[in-house]
Amino acid sequence: MKLKQRLFTPGPTPLPEEVRLAQARQIIHHRGEEFARVFQEVRQGLKYVFQTGEEVLLLTASGTGAMEAVVANLFSSGDRVLVVRGGKFGERWGEIAAVFGLEVISLDIEWESAVNPDLIRKKLAKDSKIRAVFTQLVETSTGVVYDIEAVAKIVKETEAVLIVDAISGLGAQPLPTDRWGVDVVVGGSQKALMLPPGLAFVSLSPKAWRLGENSALPRYYWDFKKAKKAQEKNQTPYTPAVSLICALRESLKLLKEEGWENVLARHAKLAQATRKAVLALGLKVFSKVPSNVATAIEVPSGIDPKKLRKIMRDEYGVDVAGGQAQLAGKIIRIAHLGWMDASDMIVVLSSLEMSLSKLGYPVKLGKGLAAAEEILGE
Ligand SMILES: *Cc1c(COP(=O)(O)O)cnc(C)c1O
């Protein structure tokens, strides 16, 4: 039999039936009335999940496209910015900013750690020329979640804007955009929002829009002002990924039916169960402040993470992520992100136990599962 394939990667994530079927329908025209109705509903739904009263811009791009668009719309060459670099995605903010000629001050932190908000306070206090702080909500490459509430409190007191890549974290960790005062939030479709890759989202506070007024960087496709103006008429400036937007309407409906608080609580519970299982198996959680997006597990010495992932994939149809960059030979990451429930976690944890056992790691089969079930069965 061909194995069933199950994704436990921190993007893309599995798709609910409603989302899959929405994309199978005949295409509609993006200048027609039906699209405008769909788009109006989607705009409301995005405000609900971003927890903001501001317009959430929808871009046809992967998450990185929206990250680049933020830089291109808010800054000018030579602007000084502070970039938290605690993993692959923090580095990406720095790379994009550098490409556009910004002056990047890096705040480098150890990859298993969260950023200490006090370090940001100190940098901002010393240097009033810093126009923005770039960070992640969850640094997916390390599995670490940052304390954005504390960071926002600090940045709010300054002239700088806070720009948060919440592409993986949105839906897995609380991020009340307006209440915390986060100026820019970037989201993506293929994570907790249960969609295929291809859409990205950006919310901007009035302070962020004001910063954009002075921006002199070139942009055409990415123009936020054009996008906002079009969206207010339930349009997009250019042909968007229409089928993905129809699918987005379905996923937003599902999230709203479940209730945002419940979505967050579900992610928290699945993550907690996974961590408990990992510890019960005598393994170590890599992240010092582990997120609800994915659990990064230190692979015990003598076990090759590539081989472990291959057995999980080839024998049990379970796809988990490896480590990126310097973490490649060190960790695996089990995502509990998006359309996931308790039974899914039993499947992935069981395949982990069996695969570790096959590689000669001394595991008492069922020990991790028992620990997880105590949480999942509550
Ligand atoms: C997935 C992800 C991205 C976006 O990557 P794309 O491949 O461009 O969609 C950016 N930041 C974080 C933290 C992510 O998890």
Return the amino acid letter for 83.
Answer: V
Identify whether residues 183 and 70 lie together within a single domain: yes
Within-domain flag for 1: no
Q: Do the domain assignments include residue 66?
A: yes
Note the pTM of the prediction, 2 decimals. 0.98
**What sign results for the dihedral spanned by CA atoms 339, 377, 310, 333?**
positive
Residue 337 belongs to domain spanning: 6-12+259-376
Which numbered atom of ligand 1 lies nearest the CA of 191?
Answer: 1
253 and 282 fall within a common domain: no
The two structure tokens encoding residue 178: 């307006």
One domain, residues 203 and 303: no
Claim to verify: residue 266 and residue 253 sit in the same structural domain: no
Site to probe by mutation for ligand 1, drawn from 67, 71, 83, 89 as the one with most ligand atoms within 8 Å of Cβ, is: 89
Number of domains forming the structure of the chain: 2
- Do 167 and 174 contact (CB within 8 A), yes or no? no
Looking at residue 304, its pLDDT comes to 97
The whole-angstrom separation of Cα 113 and Cα 107 is 12
**Residue 236 and residue 288 in one domain:** no
End-to-end CA distance of the chain: 35
- pLDDT per residue, tens digit, the chain (378 aa), is 889 999 999 999 999 999 999 999 999 999 999 999 999 999 999 999 999 999 999 999 999 999 999 999 999 999 999 999 999 999 999 999 999 999 999 999 999 999 999 999 999 999 999 999 999 999 999 999 999 999 999 999 999 999 999 999 999 999 999 999 999 999 999 999 999 999 999 999 999 999 999 999 999 999 999 999 999 999 999 999 999 999 999 999 999 999 999 999 999 999 999 999 999 999 999 999 999 999 999 999 999 999 999 999 999 999 999 999 999 999 999 999 999 999 999 999 999 999 999 999 999 999 999 999 999 999
Ligand 1 centre and the CA of 165: distance in Å? 8
Whether residues 180 and 307 fall in one domain: no
* DSSP structure string for 322-366: E--GGGTTTEEEEE--SS--HHHHHHHHHHHHHHHHHTT----TT
What pLDDT, on the 0 to 100 scale, is given for residue 245?
98
Distance 63 CA to ligand 1 centre (A): 5
Query: Which DSSP string do the residues of 279-318 spell out, in sequence order?
Result: HHTT-EE--SSB-SSEEEEEPPTT--HHHHHHHHHHHH-E
Last residue of a domain, one of 209, 236, 258: 258
Closest C-alpha to ligand 1, atom 4: 63
3-state secondary structure of 262: helix
Listed residues 216, 236, 258: the one ending a domain = 258
93 CB under 6 A from ligand 1?
no
Task: Tell me, yes or no, whether 277 and 321 share the same domain.
Answer: yes
Q: Which of 111, 54, 17 is nearest to 331 (CA)?
A: 111
* Cβ of 64 below 6 Å from ligand 1: yes
Q: Would you put residue 165 in left (φ > 0), alpha (ψ -120 to 50) or beta? A: beta
What's the confidence (pLDDT) of residue 66? 98
What is the structure's pLDDT at 263?
98
Q: Is residue 150 part of a domain?
A: yes
Domain boundary among 195, 224, 258: 258
- Which CATH number does the domain housing residue 92 bear? 3.40.640.10
**In the structure encoding, which two tokens stand for residue 131, read together?**
């126009």
Domain identity same for 165 and 265: no
Sheet holding 199-204, edge to edge: 56-60, 199-204, 184-188, 161-165, 130-136, 80-85, 103-108
By the 8 A CB rule, do 10 and 323 touch? Answer: no
Q: Domain of 320: which CATH number?
A: 3.90.1150.10
Residue 1 pLDDT: 84
Q: Residue 54: what are its φ and ψ, rounded to 5°?
A: -80, 160
**Residues 321 and 221 grouped into a single domain:** no
187 Cβ below 6 A of ligand 1: no
Cβ(11) – ligand 1 distance below 6 Å? yes
Beta strands in the chain (DSSP E): 6-8, 56-60, 80-85, 103-108, 130-136, 138-139, 144-145, 161-165, 184-188, 199-204, 284-285, 294-298, 318-322, 331-335
340 and 300 in a common domain: yes
